[in-house]
Amino acid sequence: MSKKSKPVLLTGASGNLGRMLARELAAQGYTLRLTDLTPFPDQVPEGASFTKADLNDGVTILQLAEGCQAILHFGGASTDQPFEVVLGPNLRGLYHIYEAARREGARVLFASSNHSIGFHERPQGNQAKLEADCEFRPDSFYGLSKAYGELMGRLYWDKHGVENLNVRIGSSFPEPVDARMLATWLSYADLARLCIAFVEAPKVGHAVVWGASNNAASYWGGDHRDRIGWQPQDSADAFAAKVGQITSGNPVTERYQGGGYTAVGYSRDGFSPRDAFTLED
CB 12 within 8 A of CB 18: yes
> Under a CB-based contact definition with an 8 Å cutoff, are residues 242 and 121 in contact?
no
58-65 and 93-104 are packed helices; what angle lies between their axes, rounded to 10 degrees? Answer: 40
Catalytic status, residue 142: yes
Q: Catalytic pick from 30, 98, 142, 148?
A: 142
Alpha-carbon gap, residue 9 to 58, rounded angstroms: 14
Check: CB of residue 261 under 8 Å from CB of residue 80.
yes
Is 237 strand, coil or helix?
A: helix
Give the integer Cα–Cα distance in Å for 94 and 55. Answer: 8
Cβ-count burial of 251 within 10 angstroms (0-12 exposed, 13-18 middle, 19+ buried)? exposed
| Paired residues of 210 in beta bridges | 168
| C-alpha–C-alpha distance, residues 53 and 5, integer Å | 24
Contacts (Cβ under 8 Å, ≥6 apart) of 229: 197, 201
Q: Cα separation of 274 and 47, whole Å?
A: 49
Side chain identity at residue 65, one-letter code:
A
Helices (H), 201-264: 240-243, 251-255, 260-263
Residues identified as active-site: 142
